[in-house]
Each structure stands twice: as structure tokens, then as C-alpha cells.
């Protein structure tokens, strides 16, 4: 296949602090963004002060949590692996950019422009948060135009998690872990990111429930399948309130083990490494249950193949790809 060096695939993500020393800056970016963190009108003038106060208040705890699991987050490395893997299958160059944290969208745009990229497909890879995907694409479009790029040369792609292809890949992935369990009645807890106070919350909840229903049907889980919400780590209302409650409910019903599926994330990051693998796992053990966590998809070849097929179908590049192959 002949490579198209003027076209790129960009993996967009909401981001994560990459190292403990970046935690305060990351929290400040999140709290300062009025699109992703709406405030009542009367508090909006105080946003800079409130953002700095929140970053200081939560920074030490976040640093300690991140240091407890890793010296740096694997998200950036895995996002790059996904971007390069999918782009290679399409004959493009691959890049990654984060709405918060790094690599920043302006830095990625500057690199792409310096390397002669003229057109880009923007793929948001967080299944249950299309609202964040829209914010990331808008920020990318703004930086692209400021760098002299044509806005019409950017093509946003979303909703891959609703495709039959992705559902089949995810179901096979979950089935691998379930096949290792001796108890065929083990409940399966699907974890999604809590949309919080998002305006589109009912729609986001509907999308997550539909995905769990589709997976449960393929895996023939029946009532074993449960959906639980994991709030963002900057949500101060309490850690994993719904996920913890779901574990307590399962223990009360007599379950002695549970399989946890991080359905809201396709790559390991702070939430999977700490919130799920450490905190939720501890809650499960405290409730008297053993836990089995299904790995995230990360850069598994079958997942990258599915993403490449999705990009082809969504952008109409299938025929041009066939011509390049010939």
C-alpha cells in the first residue's frame, strides 16, 4: 500500500496526568475549562480562584495515588500505539492529542503542520463520552486554523463503540477472561465513566446501557450483567459511589467473586490502574469477594483492525484504499 504522507489519523482523548509532578497543572486545566466544567453564573467570575484552590486541595492526594501505581501514566504510550497501529493499516501517519494534560492539542497540531500534514481524521476513543470528544475536536479545529490549516480538511469520527464490529471484539475479549473462571455464575460488572452533571447525561446513560445490553446478549450473561458508574476523580461527591454500591449489592446477594469490565476506557490510565485495580478491588475484598478484572483493549491487533475498518467506513476511504493496494 502506498502511504499518504499528507493525511493523518489523530487519536483524541480527554487526557490524564502523565506524571505525579504534572497533577496540579492537569487539575488546573480541567477546572479552568468552562465548557467541560460549567459553573453557576454567579460563580463564573471567580473561576480562576476556584480552579487554583481545587488544584491545591486535591493535588497532594492525586500525586500520592499516582505514585502508588506507576511512575507515569501509560495512557500516552498506549494512545500513540493505537494511533500508529491504526494509521499504519490505513497508510497514514498517526498522532495523538489530549484535551487536558499532554500531548497538548496545540503541540500536536504544530508537529503535524511542520511535517506537511494537510488533512486529518480525528478519532475520539472514549466510548461513553462523546461530549468530551466534541470539545476536543473543537479545540483541535481552533488550533489547526490558527496554524494556517483548512478547517474543511478535518473530519471528526465518533460512535465506534456502537458498531457491531466493536461489540463483537469487546465480547470476545471479555469471554477470554470469563473462560478462565470456574464458576459459570460469576456476575459481571461493567464499569463506565459517570457523566456527572453533563447536559447530555440521559443520552450518555442510554448509550452505555445499550452497549452493556448488546454485550450481555452476545455473552449470554442474562441477569449476571450489571452496569455501574465510576465518577471522574475530580468529582468531590465521593469516590465510586455507584460502583461501590454495586459491589455491596452483589455481596448481599451471595456472590463470592466478580468480574469487572472497564467498559468506559479502551486504554489503561489512572482510572483503571488506581480507581479500579486498587480502590474498587479493595472494596470487593472488604465485601468478601474475589475480583477478576478484564484487561482493557489497549493495542490488541484485533482492536486496531476494527478501528481501521471503522475509519474506512466512516470516511469513505475504502475504495481509495483498494486502489492503493492495487
What's the length of the chain? 326
Q: How confident is the model at residue 321 (pLDDT cuts 50, 70, 90)?
A: very low
The label of the residue with cell 490558527 reads: 146
pLDDT at 234 over 80: no
What is the reported pLDDT for 285? 93
Q: How confident is the model at residue 320 (pLDDT cuts 50, 70, 90)?
A: very low
What is the reported pLDDT for 2? 55
Alpha helix positions (H), 8-74: 23-32, 47-69
Model confidence pLDDT, tens digit, residues 98-124: 999 889 999 999 999 999 999 999 999
What is the reported pLDDT for 64? 86
Q: Average pLDDT, stretch 14-22?
A: 86
What is the reported pLDDT for 323? 46
Q: CA-to-CA distance for 311 and 124, rounded, in angstroms?
A: 11
Model confidence pLDDT, tens digit, residues 146-191: 999 999 999 998 888 889 999 999 999 999 999 999 999 999 999 9
| More confidently predicted of 323 and 305 | 305
Distance of CA 312 to the CA centre of its chain: 21
CB 114 within 8 A of CB 4: no
Strand blocks (E) in 109-231: 119-124, 154-157, 188-193, 225-230
Per-residue DSSP letters for 81-134?
A: HHHHHHHHHHTSEEEEEESSSSSBHHHHHHHHHHTT--EEEEEE--TT-HHHHH
pLDDT at 23 over 50: yes
Provide the 3-class DSSP secondary structure of residue 290: strand
Tell which residue, 110, 119, 116, 141, has the closest CA to residue 12: 141
Q: CA-to-CA distance for 71 and 168, rounded, in angstroms?
A: 34
Q: Average pLDDT, stretch 240-256?
A: 88
The label of the residue with cell 470487593 reads: 284
Provide the 3-class DSSP secondary structure of residue 61: helix
Distance of CA 175 to the CA centre of its chain: 21
pLDDT at 239 over 60: no
Q: Radius of gyration over alpha carbons of the chain, in Å?
A: 20
Model confidence pLDDT, tens digit, residues 41-53: 898 999 999 999 9
Q: Average pLDDT, stretch 8-29?
A: 90
| More confidently predicted of 236 and 31 | 31
Amino acid at each position: 500500500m502506498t502511504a499518504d504522507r499528507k493525511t493523518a489519523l489523530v487519536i483524541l482523548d480527554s487526557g490524564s496526568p502523565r506524571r505525579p509532578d504534572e497533577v496540579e497543572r492537569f487539575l488546573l486545566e480541567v477546572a479552568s475549562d468552562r465548557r467541560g466544567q460549567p459553573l453557576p453564573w454567579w460563580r463564573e467570575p471567580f473561576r480562576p480562584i476556584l480552579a487554583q484552590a481545587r488544584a491545591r486541595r486535591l493535588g497532594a492526594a492525586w500525586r500520592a495515588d499516582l505514585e502508588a501505581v506507576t511512575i507515569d501514566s501509560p495512557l500516552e504510550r498506549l494512545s500513540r500505539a493505537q494511533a500508529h497501529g491504526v494509521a499504519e493499516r490505513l497508510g497514514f501517519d498517526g498522532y495523538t492529542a489530549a484535551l487536558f494534560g499532554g500531548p497538548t492539542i496545540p503541540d500536536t497540531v504544530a508537529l503535524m503542520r511542520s511535517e506537511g500534514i494537510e488533512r486529518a481524521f480525528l478519532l475520539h476513543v472514549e466510548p461513553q463520552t462523546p461530549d468530551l470528544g466534541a470539545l476536543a475536536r473543537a479545540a483541535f479545529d481552533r488550533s489547526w486554523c490558527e496554524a494556517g490549516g483548512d478547517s474543511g480538511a478535518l473530519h471528526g469520527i465518533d460512535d465506534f463503540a456502537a458498531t457491531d464490529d466493536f461489540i463483537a471484539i469487546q465480547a470476545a475479549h471479555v469471554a477470554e477472561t470469563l473462560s478462565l473462571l470456574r464458576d459459570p455464575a460469576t456476575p459481571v460488572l461493567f464499569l463506565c465513566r459517570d457523566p456527572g452533571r453533563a447536559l447530555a447525561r440521559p443520552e450518555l446513560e442510554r448509550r452505555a446501557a445499550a452497549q452493556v445490553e448488546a454485550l450481555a446478549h452476545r455473552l449470554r450473561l442474562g441477569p449476571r450483567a450489571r452496569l455501574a458508574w465510576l465518577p471522574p476523580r475530580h468529582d468531590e461527591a465521593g469516590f465510586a459511589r455507584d460502583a461501590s454500591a454495586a459491589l455491596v449489592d452483589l455481596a448481599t446477594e451471595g456472590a463470592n467473586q466478580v468480574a469487572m469490565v472497564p467498559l468506559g476506557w479502551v486504554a489503561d490510565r489512572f482510572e483503571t490502574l488506581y480507581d479500579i485495580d486498587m480502590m474498587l478491588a479493595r472494596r470487593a475484598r472488604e465485601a468478601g469477594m474475589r475480583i477478576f478484572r478484564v484487561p482493557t483493549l489497549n493495542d490488541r491487533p484485533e482492536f486496531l483492525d476494527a478501528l481501521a475498518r471503522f475509519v474506512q467506513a466512516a470516511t469513505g476511504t475504502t475504495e481509495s484504499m483498494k486502489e492503493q493496494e492495487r
